[in-house]
Amino acid sequence: MAMTIWSYHCAASLARSGDAKEPWMTERLDPAKLALVVFDMLECYRPRIEAAGAVEPISRLIGHCRGHRVPICYARADHRPDGADVNRTLTDTDEGFSPWGPGGQRYGFAHPPESMVVLAEFAPEPGDYDVPKHRWSAFHQTHLDLSLRSRGVDTIALVGGSTHVGIAGTAFAARDLDYQVIVVSDGLTGYKRQRDFFVDHVFPRMCRVRTVDQVTAALDASADAA
């Protein structure tokens, strides 16, 4: 039987660089127990997605998951045009980590609804899951948990961003729901400093960090062993 829970040998720097050879090559991922969660890979974020170099790795992983019949879940920001449903938590800085100016904190979502669609390169197909969300976690008051459990999924692979915002929020929520979590390091976006910090110092303690190549190899190994 293909293993879903990988042996715990996590070296985040190796995972990010893709230099690791063992034990990654012997790991297996059961496609019947796995789902790929693609987080906020939207047209309104295209510049930062392209800047992070995430388009090609995510496209490759989506294609590989489709080949193994792994469900693809597109978690996407979904807010009212008037901003009435946005979060109003008080913060010290804006999203660029600059302190708020004399005018105080601003609320709202700056992107028009027509730009809040999945990148054409990752176009959803019939049978994929559309997960409109209103907060950072893809699980918060969405159907994601029910949809995954209904088909026996116990492991999620996470790609997208921003790493320190939605990916972190979703990873923490998934762990609290007892899912196995795999953060795919070369499929992440967001500020590089924060991205590297979470990949190296936060995620390894709460889940597993792997590259696209390592995830695809684990899926192939499971199929070969079937």
pLDDT on residue 96:
72
Domain for residue 158, yes or no? yes
pLDDT on residue 24:
46
Distance CA 138, CA 113 (A): 18
Question: Which is nearest to 186 in space by CA: 220, 219, 163, 152?
Answer: 163
Domain for residue 105, yes or no? no
Boundaries of domain holding 185: 24-76+120-225
Question: In angstroms, how far is CA 197 from the centroid of its own chain?
Answer: 16
Residue 58 near residue 159 (C-beta atoms within 8 A): yes
Sign of the alpha-carbon torsion through 59, 196, 200, 145: negative
170-214 pLDDT per residue, tens: 999 999 999 999 999 999 999 999 999 999 999 999 999 999 999
Average pLDDT, the chain: 84
Query: Which amino acid makes up residue 219?
Result: L
Q: What tokens does 151 get?
A: 């088909």
Domain for residue 42, yes or no? yes
Task: Give all strands of the β-sheet with 180-188 in edge-to-edge order.
Answer: 129-133, 72-77, 34-39, 155-160, 180-188, 208-210
Query: Which amino acid makes up residue 130?
Result: D
pLDDT on residue 45:
84
pLDDT on residue 30:
96
67-97 pLDDT per residue, tens: 999 999 999 987 767 766 776 676 666 677 6
Domain for residue 6, yes or no? no
Distance CA 85, CA 23 (A): 45
Domain for residue 55, yes or no? yes
Domain for residue 87, yes or no? no
pLDDT-wise least confident of 38-47, 61-70, 75-84, 134-143? 75-84
Mean pLDDT of 31-42: 96
- 69's torsion region: left (phi>0), alpha (psi -120 to 50) or beta? left
Give the pLDDT band of residue 15 (cuts 50, 70, 90): very low
Q: What angle do CA 189, 191, 193 make, to 5 degrees?
A: 120
Domain for residue 102, yes or no? no
Distance CA 18, CA 12 (A): 10
Q: What's the number of domains the chain is made of? A: 1
CATH number of the domain encompassing residue 42: 3.40.50.850
Residue 208 near residue 182 (C-beta atoms within 8 A): yes
Q: What tokens does 4 get?
A: 């879903």
Domain for residue 96, yes or no? no
